[in-house]
Amino acid sequence: MAEKITIGELHLSGCTGCLVTLADNYEGLFKLLDDYADLVYALTLVDVRHVPEMDVCLVEGSCCLDDKLSVEELKEARAKSKVLVAYGGCAAYGNITRFCRGGQWNQPGHASYVPISEVVDVDLFLPSCPPCPQAIRNVAVMAYLLLKGDDEQKKLATAYLTPLMQLAQRGNEACGCDLMYDVINQGLCIGCGTCAGTCPVRAITMEYGRPNINRDLCIKCGACYAQCPRSWFNFDVMNNYESIMNVIKGAME
Amino acid sequence: MDVLGNYKSVISARSTDRDILKKAQDGGIITTLFAYALEEGIIDGAVVAGPSDEPWRPKPMVVSTKAELLAAAGTRYTISPNISLIKEATRSYGLDRVGIVGTPCQIQAIRKAQLYPIGMRDVDDKIALALGIFCMENLSYQALEAIVEDHCNQKMESVKKMDIGKGKFTVYTERGAVSQMPLKLIHKYVQPGCNVCLDYVANLADISSGSVGSPDGWSTVFVRSMKGNAVWDGAIEAGLFETKPMDQVKPGLDMVKKLSTDKITKNQKNVDARKTAGLRADGTPKGLRNPYESP
């Protein structure tokens, strides 16, 4: 077994749901920690007070500009990590820390809570509220292959992670409306229902083959657009879904 | 990838179950496979296009009995957002092994949900059988209504069966009338998303099936994944299908290949044309998004 990578979780203004999601891999988390990654920094899970050097930093929560420590720690985490991940809707898009529930007037304080990419460069987005345990597991395995694998594994991991990196370049505002602007108005929607199935707050229903978004329920987590098969569909990865799933399954056994 | 995708075998087949054949669109492949998988405990339930309160408007549904499967059998030529139920099936219904049927794009959505389960918590390892159906293009419900009621001049509720084949869209009514319209006239009703689709025969399904390539009442079946292979072998062993080798049926695999090539060639052109769609003030094209390149 090659040496492990180091992963940390920086907890900013979030609800700890993302961190719990990491733990929701149950025995999978132990497998990850045994063989692939050392957890070097995380609220409650690791007794380390100061942001250390790490390969992958998962940032949970948005960054409160009024809180000097948050801003400093985020910048420090950026400087000390090879890959910085906006882990979850708040870090990527602000999510509920910015808009409370969709449609409500945002409070004066909400202006302070910014997606982390307003403060530092972010390499990779992992949206949704919370993200899925399987998504962070897959990203962790791929990050390991990227940093410690052989050439072929590096190639696979790069192909796998590319769309999530492109997502980070796309912008830091998300809404159910993305489906309207970037899928339907682009003539790409096929009415498959993925968005409705994905939405963590059931803000999307399918009406005559198209998503209908309840603006008052949408929490701006970005899950629907990222999960939509027409936001991106990378054939180089998808066509090998069977072998890739076996790679991940094999890694977790 | 080849225009027919990766597959282990391709066969022409027909269900041996009379009840299923009576209700089925062609060879009853999907219904029979799900009935078998339910019986054998390969799946606990399946997400299918069930009946709704409007005639010929499918509604995604989780089914777990053969009677429910039969009620959902047959093709409805409009959108059924089946993927909207996969998380529901695993979480609200508590199914550990889910079967799902879908068009090629829906099967793509499933594979994306498995490889990148961004909002699809606890779904990836619970998809036990994903069955794909061949699909050239799909219609909104309103478009289907226009085709049946305006072009074919039949009421939706009086229709017994709809079928696409030999260049025609055919409507059979309960009272025995048959109305037809040329398929060419349907294209203007097709939902725009279908025009960039590069998959005809559900390349990423475990098993995919459709009428093209096989004689009337039979279906062409592609067995694609390891999982699909095991299920298919089991069903054959249980005597659930009559089969014929593809090279002994008319019109045969060449027909499937031709239609698939036609679709992919046409739609690849559409994808490429999107790059230069629209015009900015400075004379450069605005361009439309290419989902196969980036989000």
- Rounded to a whole number of angstroms, the distance between the first and last alpha carbons of chain B is 22
Do both B97 and B129 map to the same domain? yes
Helix axes B104-115, A241-251, angle to 10 degrees: 20
Average pLDDT over residues B91-97: 95
What's the CA gap between A164 and B288, in Å, rounded? 20
Mode of pairing for the β-strands spanning B45-50 and B9-15: unpaired
Do both B68 and B171 map to the same domain? no
Q: Does A28 touch chain B (CB under 8 A)?
A: no
What's the CA gap between A174 and A92, in Å, rounded? 9
Residue B213 lies in a domain: yes
Q: Residue B159 corresponds to which tokens in the numbers above?
A: 């229709």
- At residue B209 the predicted structure's pLDDT band, cuts being 50, 70 and 90, is very high
Do both B54 and B163 map to the same domain? no
Which residue, among A126, A128, A132, A138, would best test binding to B if mutated, counting the most B CBs under 10 Å from its CB? A132
Q: Residue B242 corresponds to which tokens in the numbers above?
A: 């009559």
Do both B108 and B15 map to the same domain? yes
Residue B286 lies in a domain: no
pLDDT digit string (tens) for A100-157?
A: 655 566 666 778 899 999 999 999 999 999 999 999 999 999 999 999 999 999 999 9
Task: Residue A238: name the closest of B212, B90, B113, B218 by CA.
Answer: B113
Do both B177 and B210 map to the same domain? no
Structural domain of B207: 9-137+198-274
Residue B291 lies in a domain: no
Do both B101 and B155 map to the same domain? no
pLDDT digit string (tens) for B266-278?
A: 999 999 999 999 9
Helix axes B29-40, B226-237, angle to 10 degrees: 90
Average pLDDT over residues B178-203: 96
Q: What is the pLDDT of residue A102?
A: 54
Average pLDDT over residues B43-57: 97
How many CA atoms lie less than 13 Å away from A228 in the CB half-sphere? Answer: 30
Res B212 pLDDT > 90: yes
Do both B185 and B70 map to the same domain? no
Q: Please list every residue in chain B whose beta carbon sits closer than 8 Å to the beta carbon of residue A224.
A: 119
Residue B246 lies in a domain: yes
Q: Residue A157 corresponds to which tokens in the numbers above?
A: 């991991």
Q: Where are the alpha helices (DSSP H) in B165-283?
A: 226-237, 253-274
Q: What is the pLDDT of residue A1?
A: 52
Residue B190 has what DSSP assignment?
Answer: B
Task: Residue A97: name the closest of A86, A113, A117, A80 by CA.
Answer: A113
What's the CA gap between A177 and A41, in Å, rounded? 36
Q: How many domains does chain B have?
A: 2
Average pLDDT over residues B105-132: 97
- Rounded to a whole number of angstroms, the distance between the first and last alpha carbons of chain A is 14
What ipTM does this complex have?
0.96
Do both B209 and B166 map to the same domain? no
**By CA distance, what is B49's nearest residue in A?**
A192
Do the chains contact at A196 and B86, CB–CB below 8 Å? no
Residue B285 lies in a domain: no
pLDDT digit string (tens) for A160-170?
A: 999 999 999 99
Do the chains contact at A223 and B113, CB–CB below 8 Å? no
Residue B57 lies in a domain: yes
Do both B129 and B61 map to the same domain? yes
Q: What is the pLDDT of residue A110?
A: 76
Q: Percent of chain A having pLDDT more than 70?
A: 95
Cβ atoms of A91 and A19 closer than 8 Å: no
Do the chains contact at B197 and A245, CB–CB below 8 Å? no
Average pLDDT over residues A167-189: 96
Residue B77 lies in a domain: yes
Average pLDDT over residues B28-32: 98
Q: What is the pLDDT of residue A108?
A: 65
Q: What is the pLDDT of residue B166?
A: 86
Task: Residue B253: name the closest of B7, B1, B6, B12 by CA.
Answer: B12
- At residue A44 the predicted structure's pLDDT band, cuts being 50, 70 and 90, is confident
Q: Does A108 touch chain B (CB under 8 A)?
A: no
Q: Percent of chain B having pLDDT more than 70?
A: 100
Do the chains contact at B193 and A170, CB–CB below 8 Å? no
Average pLDDT over residues A16-36: 95
Cβ atoms of A201 and A150 closer than 8 Å: no
Which CATH number does the domain housing residue B155 bear? 3.10.450.750
Domains in chain A (CATH in brackets) are 5-173+235-251 (3.40.50.700), 177-227 (3.30.70.20)
Do the chains contact at B115 and A227, CB–CB below 8 Å? no
Look at residue B241 and give its three-state secondary structure: strand
Closest CB to A128: pick one of B112, B119, B124.
B119
Do the chains contact at A187 and B288, CB–CB below 8 Å? yes
Do the chains contact at A234 and B113, CB–CB below 8 Å? no
Instruction: List the 118-177 stretch of A: residues with Cβ below 8 A of B.
Output: 126-128, 131-135, 138, 160, 163-164, 166-167, 170
pLDDT digit string (tens) for B149-160?
A: 999 999 999 999
Q: How far is B49 from chain A (nearest CA, A)?
A: 12
Residue B279 lies in a domain: no
Do the chains contact at A200 and B119, CB–CB below 8 Å? yes
Do both B132 and B143 map to the same domain? no
Average pLDDT over residues A60-86: 96
Do both B14 and B41 map to the same domain? yes
Residue A121 has what DSSP assignment?
Answer: -
